[in-house]
Structure 1
Amino acid sequence: MGEKLAVDEQMVPFKGRNRLKQYLPAKPKKWGYKILVLAGSDGVPHNFEIYTGRVVQPPELPDVGASGNVVLRLAQPIPKHQKHKLFFDNWFTSVPLILTLAQQGIHCAGTVRSNRLPGVSMMCDAELKRTGRGSFDQKTAMVGESTLHAVKWYDNRSVSLLSDYIGAHPVTDVDRWDGKQKKVIRVPCPAVVREYNKNMGGVDLLDSLIALYRTKIRSKKWYHRLMFHFIDMTTVTAWLLYKRDCSSTGMSKEEQIRLYTFKSYIGESLCKSGKNLEHKRGRPSFTIAGEYKEKRRRGPATPIPVPDVRLDATAHWMVMDKKKGRCKVPGCKGTPKAKCQKCDVRLCFTSTSNCFLRFHTE
């Protein structure tokens, strides 16, 4: 689990009739099931909860309001007093929530609504606008053993943030587009805003990766949509962990497997790995669709199966083809007629060259 974590909403697209269906106008898919997710800044999820309405808070957790209780439940797997930072938006942020997490050694930062800052008087939007883009106001207060920083920053519009570990300073300049001047300008940006923008997008990153190759299967069962979503989430999580391991070993991004290929490898392994060949009964079908499918195969070469299938030692039978083809073992220049029925690749099998054994064991 990384140091920087975020809690945000995730939408599972669904437009059927169900009492759990929610409407979120700010999401790309506005109708569906709402899932509350705890994820790292790299997109790896660590905990989630399906939104079902009001939930009774467990007795071992304090009650800090309906939205804040969600964060406390999701934050249970986070190690205490390990300097973890947690980010969330204004639907969750409140003073009691941040103080409760601070007692557990978890620092927080999030956008906050003005009505959740009682007794705090910040500069009004009109005054900040007159000062210009990049202007901000900061208030600091000591509450118990925690120091709370409330920062209001004006860019194209105002936004307020609350944190217990970072304030407005140091202030740095960021690039912003100026519509009047038609060019990019430098705008002062408080440290808490930069920290929030940098680490809040973990759940959105996970959402975008799931949406790239979402499993689309029509069904009348409402829970099927959730099941397929969690399968997609599991696959994307596995790919993110794979990329993390590859980066730790120094492998370049060009050498790493892309998400589409990663999912296709998983599908091929689940379909073939460790399974015997099943012969279809009845007369073989020769349809126009089958002929078109053969013509659409990319390139003249037969693809090599994934290692999970190639090395599973199950149902790899040798058959003889009418035509010769290039042996698939690297370095072999033979053109045998023998091939593996399961892998559908040609392999040498002679007294001097047993490529069939090498292909399925090395």
Structure 2
Amino acid sequence: MHGQSAYRAWTDIALQDIFSFLALVIYMGFAKVPSLTDYWRRGKLYSLPFPKSVMTGKKFFSIIRALHLSSPEEDAKNEGKRGTEEFDRLGKIKPLYTEIRDACRQNYQPGQHIAIDERMVASKARVSFKQYLKSKPVRWGYKLFVLADSKSGYTWDFFVYEGKSSQASKNGLSYDSVMTLLDTSLLGTGYKLYVDNFYTSPILFRDLLKKKVSACGTIRTNRQGYPRTTENTLDSRAPRGSIRWIREDPLLFVQWKDTRDVFICSTMHTAHGEETVERRVKDDTGCWTMKDVPVPPAIKDYNRHMGGVDLSDALIGYYEVLHKTKKWYKTFFYHFVDIAVVNAFILYKGQCTLKAKIPMHQKAFRETLVLELAEAGAISTEREEESRKETHHRLVHIVASGDKTQGRLKCRKCHAKTAVKCSTCDVPLCFQPQRDCYNDWHKEQGQ
């Protein structure tokens, strides 16, 4: 890589540098340009003053390349265990992964209605636990199991799916996922959980009820424990709104006729209620008319409260900070930043509600956060500016490797062969009357 030698002189970064770095990462989520280097380009088309005022492009890319979420020593130890059961597939993200999960749980108590669903984090990196889900908007990436507040979309807990495990219980992945996320020693009891047909099973709902957690979800009719009787099923020609149900205490199984048959299981509802939904139906003359049809309370509540994870995904997706990267652990770093920002935004809205204030939009919240992070990192930026002013740049001849003869390398700016370079930046640059890449390049770098 041409620019590798330019970043050879590494200086340790301070906490203020991290504030500046995060300010730019979040800023890039709502101020999009085709390439990261465009944020520091000069000229009429790409003259963005904010990134330059926060951090130089050279330092930003140095931090990105050096970014690791775990210590090299621990990574080396873990790599030595590859191929054994002790190998940790998530070792490269484990420290931040653990901290972000703890922070999500400690700073919020969900409302009574919660939901569990999958989330996909887009990636094309080649790692063993990358998944394909054809039903999701993001089909290729890392699969996360997420517990979210149904009303606000707050991500209360999540874990990364690492692939098939020999330690899975006899009840399967869906059962284990719910039991892992729904830790009543941390969350408490009395909750109402909503899940889709991937998770719903009679044994899961019975075990949740023992933990004093009610549950409701669509169910597959081939699930173990689903009633096998055909005596109480709907006829295929039954009109919309028709209902059949079977109760096996404490479970209620409901079949409801909509555009297609909907099957649902619940431990918190009655079979019939007074609520209706508006649907298009054919009358006796063959004409389509709008009609109110009865809807079971379980389906009404499921539609109302199941979307907690989808709401969280939507809030993240509006201003996602995810950057293209070949390093899988950096993808998780960007996603963890998104989770932290969205959860902070939800907490902020909650405080505004308590104080009877009108909350700002998420974009305005992110803009304010970026400015405050940039201000927190301003001390480091000022020192960097002073240091850069004191740095003396000078031209020297390029010496060929292994001897003292003059060599030639590609100019960083125009890619033509040149015999000189900047001694401080260690970057080959042309310096000719017709082509002064040396001064042009330093102006672009703000030096």
Asked if the contact 2:238/2:257 (under 8 Å) is kept, the reply is no
Equivalent of residue 208 in structure 1, options 314, 320, 324: 314
Asked if the contact 2:125/2:327 (under 8 Å) is kept, the reply is no
Asked if the contact 2:202/2:226 (under 8 Å) is kept, the reply is no
Alpha-carbon deviation of 1:196?
0.7
Alpha-carbon deviation of 1:129?
3.7
Asked if the contact 1:215/1:232 (under 8 Å) is kept, the reply is yes
CA distance in 2: counterparts of 1:80 and 1:43, whole angstroms: 16
1:6 aligns to 2:115 (yes or no): yes
1:120 aligns to 2:212 (yes or no): no
Q: Could you tell me which amino acid in structure 2 is paired with residue 271 of structure 1?
A: A
Q: How does 1:120-159 map to 2 (within 5 A)?
A: 120-122=228-230, 127-142=234-249, 147-159=250-262
Q: Name the structure where strand makes up a greater proportion of residues.
A: 1
Q: How does 1:318-333 map to 2 (within 5 A)?
A: none
Q: Which residue of 1 is the match for residue 35 of structure 2?
A: none
Q: Which residue of 2 is the match for residue 71 of structure 1?
A: 178
Q: Which residue of 2 is the match for residue 273 of structure 1?
A: 376
- Classify 1:265/1:57 alpha carbon distance in 2 versus 1 (closer, same or farther; 3 Å): farther
Q: Which residue of 2 is the match for residue 353 of structure 1?
A: none
Q: How does 1:65-104 map to 2 (within 5 A)?
A: 65-77=172-184, 82-104=189-211
Q: Which residue of 2 is the match for residue 348 of structure 1?
A: none
Alpha-carbon deviation of 1:65?
2.4
Q: Which residue of 2 is the match for residue 263 of structure 1?
A: 366
Q: Which residue of 1 is the match for residue 347 of structure 2?
A: 241
Q: Which has the higher contact order (CA 8 A, sep 6+)?
A: 2
- Classify 1:54/1:124 alpha carbon distance in 2 versus 1 (closer, same or farther; 3 Å): farther
CA distance in 2: counterparts of 1:134 and 1:21, whole angstroms: 41
Q: Which residue of 2 is the match for residue 231 of structure 1?
A: 337
Asked if the contact 1:176/1:186 (under 8 Å) is kept, the reply is yes
Asked if the contact 2:232/2:244 (under 8 Å) is kept, the reply is no
Alpha-carbon deviation of 1:26?
1.8
Alpha-carbon deviation of 1:131?
1.7
Asked if the contact 2:232/2:245 (under 8 Å) is kept, the reply is no
Q: Could you tell me which amino acid in structure 1 is paired with residue 159 of structure 2?
A: E
Alpha-carbon deviation of 1:177?
4.7
Q: Which residue of 1 is the match for residue 134 of structure 2?
A: 25
Q: TM-score, normalised on structure 2?
A: 0.57
1:109 aligns to 2:216 (yes or no): yes
Asked if the contact 1:81/1:105 (under 8 Å) is kept, the reply is no
CA distance in 2: counterparts of 1:177 and 1:239, whole angstroms: 39
Q: Which residue of 1 is the match for residue 43 of structure 2?
A: none
Q: Could you tell me which amino acid in structure 2 is paired with residue 272 of structure 1?
A: E
- Classify 1:118/1:197 alpha carbon distance in 2 versus 1 (closer, same or farther; 3 Å): closer
Bigger CA drift: 261-270 or 173-182? 173-182
CA distance in 1: counterparts of 2:336 and 2:287, whole angstroms: 46
Asked if the contact 1:110/1:161 (under 8 Å) is kept, the reply is yes
- Classify 1:234/1:271 alpha carbon distance in 2 versus 1 (closer, same or farther; 3 Å): same
CA distance in 2: counterparts of 1:198 and 1:122, whole angstroms: 30
After superposition, the C-alpha distances for 1:42-72 in whole angstroms (9 at most, x for unaligned) are 20111101011234669xxx85322111100
Q: Which runs of 5+ in 1 are unaligned?
A: 284-362
CA distance in 1: counterparts of 2:144 and 2:136, whole angstroms: 12
Alpha-carbon deviation of 1:89?
0.8
Asked if the contact 2:322/2:335 (under 8 Å) is kept, the reply is no
Asked if the contact 1:80/1:104 (under 8 Å) is kept, the reply is no
Alpha-carbon deviation of 1:248?
2.3
- Classify 1:57/1:84 alpha carbon distance in 2 versus 1 (closer, same or farther; 3 Å): farther
Q: Which residue of 1 is the match for residue 293 of structure 2?
A: 187
After superposition, the C-alpha distances for 1:150-184 in whole angstroms (9 at most, x for unaligned) are 00111111121111121322142112355985664
Asked if the contact 1:57/1:63 (under 8 Å) is kept, the reply is no
- Classify 1:217/1:119 alpha carbon distance in 2 versus 1 (closer, same or farther; 3 Å): closer
